[in-house]
Chains A and B, each alone.
Chain A
Amino acid sequence: MDSQDQTDNTATPIFDVVDVTKEFDQGKVQALRGVTLRIEDGEFVSMIGTSGSGKSTLLHLLGSLDHPSSGTLRFKGQDIGNLPDPAEFRAREIGYIFQSFHLLPTFTVEENVQIPMFGLPGNTAKSRKERAVELLEAVGLSHRLGHLPTKLSGGERQRAAIARSLANNPTVLLADEPTGNLDSDTAVQIMQLLGKLHAEHRTTMVLVTHDIEVAENASRIVQMKDGRIISDPKAPAASHQSHPS
Chain B
Amino acid sequence: MNFFTIALRGLWRRPVRTGLTLLGISVGIAAVVALVGIASGYEKSVVNQLDVIGIDVIVSNMEGGMMPQVFDESLKPKVAELPDVEEATTVLMKMLMVEDAPMMMVSGREWGGFTWDQLKVLEGRMPRDENEKAVVVGRLAADVLEKEVGDTVQIEIDEFEIVGIVDGGSVVENGAIILALSRFQEVMGYEGKANFLDLRVSEGISEEELEALMEEIETIYPEGRAVRASEVVGTSQGFRIAQAMSWSTSLLAIIVGILGVMNTMLMTVFERTHEIGILLALGWKRRMIVFLVLCESAILGLIGGIVGILIGFVSLELLVQTDTIRGILEPDFSKELVFRAIGIAVIVGVVSGLYPAWRSSRMMPSAAIQS
Which of A's residues lie within 8 Å of B, judged by CB?
Answer: 57, 60, 63, 65-66, 85, 87-88, 90-92, 94, 96, 98, 102, 104, 106-107, 111, 114-116, 118-120, 125, 128-129, 164, 167-168
Further 17 A-B residue pairs, CB within 8 A, beyond A57-B366, A85-B285, A104-B275: A65-B281, A66-B365, A66-B367, A85-B286, A87-B284, A90-B283, A91-B284, A92-B283, A96-B281, A102-B278, A104-B278, A106-B9, A107-B6, A115-B279, A116-B284, A118-B288, A164-B282
How many cross-chain pairs have Cβ atoms below 8 Å apart between A and B? 74
- The reply to whether A106 and B13 form a contact with Cβ atoms under 8 Å apart is yes
Q: State the Cβ distance, B357 to closest chain A Cβ, in Å.
A: 16
Q: Which residue of B lies closest to A24 (CB)?
A: B367
Do A114 and B285 form a contact, CB below 8 Å, given A66-B365, A66-B366, A87-B280?
Answer: no
Q: Is the interface of A mostly helix, strand, loop or mixed?
A: helix
Do A119 and B365 form a contact, CB below 8 Å, given A106-B9, A106-B13, A107-B9?
Answer: no
B:325-371 near A, CB below 8 Å:
364-367, 369
Is B157 an interface position by the 8 A CB rule?
Answer: no
Which of B's residues lie within 8 Å of A, judged by CB?
Answer: 1-3, 6, 9-10, 12-13, 274-275, 278-286, 288, 364-367, 369
Complex interface: chain A residues within 8 A of B6 (CB):
107, 118
Complex interface: chain B residues within 8 A of A96 (CB):
281-282
- The reply to whether B283 and A91 form a contact with Cβ atoms under 8 Å apart is yes
Do A106 and B282 form a contact, CB below 8 Å, given A65-B369, A66-B366?
Answer: no
Complex interface: chain A residues within 8 A of B288 (CB):
87, 118-119
Q: Which residue of A lies closest to B370 (CB)?
A: A56
- Distance in angstroms between the alpha carbons of A90 and B281 in the assembled complex: 7
- The reply to whether B10 and A106 form a contact with Cβ atoms under 8 Å apart is yes
A-B contact pairs, 30 of them (CB 8 A): A60-B365, A60-B366, A66-B364, A66-B367, A85-B286, A87-B283, A87-B285, A87-B286, A90-B282, A90-B283, A91-B282, A91-B284, A98-B369, A102-B274, A102-B278, A102-B369, A106-B9, A106-B13, A107-B1, A107-B9, A115-B279, A115-B284, A116-B283, A116-B284, A119-B283, A120-B283, A125-B1, A125-B2, A128-B1, A168-B283
Q: State the Cβ distance, A154 to closest chain B Cβ, in Å.
A: 18
Closest CB pairs A-B (n = 3): A91-B283, A119-B283, A66-B366
- Distance in angstroms between the alpha carbons of A241 and B252 in the assembled complex: 66
Q: Which residue of A lies closest to B368 (CB)?
A: A65
Q: Which residue of B lies closest to A91 (CB)?
A: B283
